Chains A and B, each alone.
Chain A
């Protein structure tokens, strides 16, 4: 196949990838979009085989590797529970990163296969592109591994900070750039290996200071990095499909990070530099005074909701941990039978990744047109009888609107306190991730339901 023809096909597969993302603008078109994506991938792979034109033993071995990887991927995709989605995505990011590193290494070791010159005399531009691709890929890989371990609970979600951390990161970042400069001058392979190894280290150092609840930002950021790594390799290989995809994925991750940061009213750098509330946490817990709290049980909750005309449900990470989404749907079904109008309110940073709550509710067969975003539903709280807060905390704290001293001041929150009564399912009065007390617990219209989210919801179903 001629180079021009294959370049045209790579362009087509790039366009199909754009259509795949375009499909996600609504759930109806999304499935079709996914098929576009698959078609784009099939074209890209088929064209690559045809362009190489070698259908001997090597081709068969490649197919075997492809199928081995594919079966592992398919197995994971069918087995993974929806609650484990954040760690799965983090894991997948790490694979993209590592694949980018491997391709860059292969290109460095055998540049003639990619038309980049010969060993010891690789084209300058290619050398810059492949070392950048390798560096970003390596950061994506090790960073995603740390994110994976934190999300999976193998590593504590608490931020790990030490003195001089940011200066060290800055130094290593500059060191990588200096090494790339010397690599271009000398073409020495040792420098290339050093770049890869230092980049692995940077990935680890970059993610360890970031706490568990900031993971939505981290995952989005790593998503973005994996895109830039792919684009870097795309430039090396002079491949349009890779360049387009890299740019798409890179900007996608960047936009998601921006949305997540805005949902917390924090700057991107504030999140990246890590350790929110790590110092405040101690001070607030010591100064906490005993305030009266109204305590209720499942029967009270069932009574309140049965007699309500409208109920808004506010899910959070706690719902995912307790796997309470199915019980929640049963509760809503029972309420609907009683003629209660029920809707769901989702805060942008609820859960551990963008859109986490929506997927869990969809899994429990909640129709997506009953689920609303913060801006869509926030005015409805004042007309609603009961707000049922399950596993969310900081995103409902009215302090964010009233107290300029509070670390979460200015963060957009759900106006839960405006509803006639609030049912707050929580295991204890402990503060949320931001380390601050939730004012909502002590309001007159709040009834605390101290229990595991799933157990409490199941009990409410029984008494309905």
Chain B
């Protein structure tokens, strides 16, 4: 019998939770705020779904109802992606070592 692809996806999901668990515990507490802003940015990879939704119709019916939700989601996710990565960058640039 063939294995349902869903089982593969749930395997990836569960293994990623374990990866996340160990990776996040190794994050130094002083960088917890950048951690939150960068997780914000990367979870906006949901934009992938938004793009698929937006481009679902053919060119002469771009703005049908489901695509509109896609376009709105693109704006929201894009704000997050640019805002999240840039503000993280800005914060990380401030962390400096003692001048010797």
Contacts and interface: CB of A to CB of B under 8 A. Distances in A.
* Same complex: yes
Interface of A: 10, 13-14, 17-18, 20-22, 24-27, 30-31, 33-34, 37-38, 40-41, 44-45, 48-49, 52, 54, 56-59, 61-62, 65-74, 76-78, 80, 82, 85, 88-89, 92-93, 95-96, 98-100, 102-103, 105-107, 109-110, 112-114, 125, 219-220, 223, 226-227, 230-231, 233-253, 255-256, 259, 346, 348, 353-356, 358-359, 362-363, 365, 367-371, 373
A57 B57 CA distance: 11
Contact of B42 (A52, A85, A245): A245
A286 B13 CA distance: 53
Contacts of A234: 13
A393 to B, nearest CB: 21
Contact of A233 (B24, B42, B46, B70): B46
B72 to A, nearest CB: 5
B83 A45 contact: no
A255 B32 CA distance: 11
A44 B78 contact: no
B52 A99 contact: no
25 contacts: A18-B19, A21-B39, A41-B44, A65-B78, A69-B78, A69-B82, A82-B94, A85-B91, A92-B84, A95-B77, A99-B46, A102-B53, A102-B70, A105-B69, A106-B69, A106-B73, A109-B65, A233-B49, A247-B20, A248-B19, A249-B39, A249-B43, A259-B29, A353-B32, A354-B29
A439 to B, nearest CB: 27
B80 A103 contact: no
Contacts of B25: 255
Given A99-B44, A113-B66, A231-B13, A107 B49 contact: yes
A363 B83 CA distance: 18
A122 to B, nearest CB: 13
Nearest to A125: B6
Contacts of B32: 256, 259, 353-355, 358
B14 to A, nearest CB: 8
Contacts, number: 369
B93 A31 contact: yes
Contacts of B35: 21, 24, 252, 256, 354-355
Contacts of A24: 27-28, 31, 34-35, 38
B87 A358 contact: no
Question: What are the 3 A-B residue pairs with the smallest beta carbon separation, nearest first?
Answer: A69-B78, A355-B32, A73-B83
Contacts of A102: 50, 53, 69-70, 72-73, 76
Contact of B98 (A78, A244, A369): A369
B83 A92 contact: yes
Contacts of A67: 78
A237 B48 contact: yes
Contacts of B99: 367
Contacts of A243: 9, 12-13, 16
A238 B24 CA distance: 25
A76 B86 CA distance: 9
A256 B35 CA distance: 10
Nearest to B33: A355
Chain A contact residues: helix, strand, loop or mixed = helix
Contacts of A10: 48
A58 B71 CA distance: 10
Contacts of B17: 247, 250-251
A346 B19 CA distance: 28
Nearest to B49: A103
A255 B52 CA distance: 32
A37 B94 contact: no
A89 B40 contact: yes
A52 B97 CA distance: 46
Contact of B33 (A65, A74, A245, A353): A353
B36 A219 contact: yes
A109 B30 contact: no
A58 B9 contact: no
Nearest to A235: B9
A52 B79 CA distance: 23
A93 B78 CA distance: 13
A26 B35 CA distance: 11
B99 to A, nearest CB: 7
Given A26-B28, A241-B48, 6 more contacts: A21-B20, A71-B82, A102-B76, A249-B39, A251-B21, A353-B36
Given A21-B39, A106-B66, A354-B33, A248 B16 contact: yes
A355 B29 contact: yes
B55 A242 contact: no
Contacts of A58: 54-55, 57, 59, 62
A30 B45 contact: no
B95 A362 contact: yes
B53 A34 contact: no
B92 A31 contact: yes
Contacts of A95: 44, 76-77, 79-80
B40 A92 contact: yes
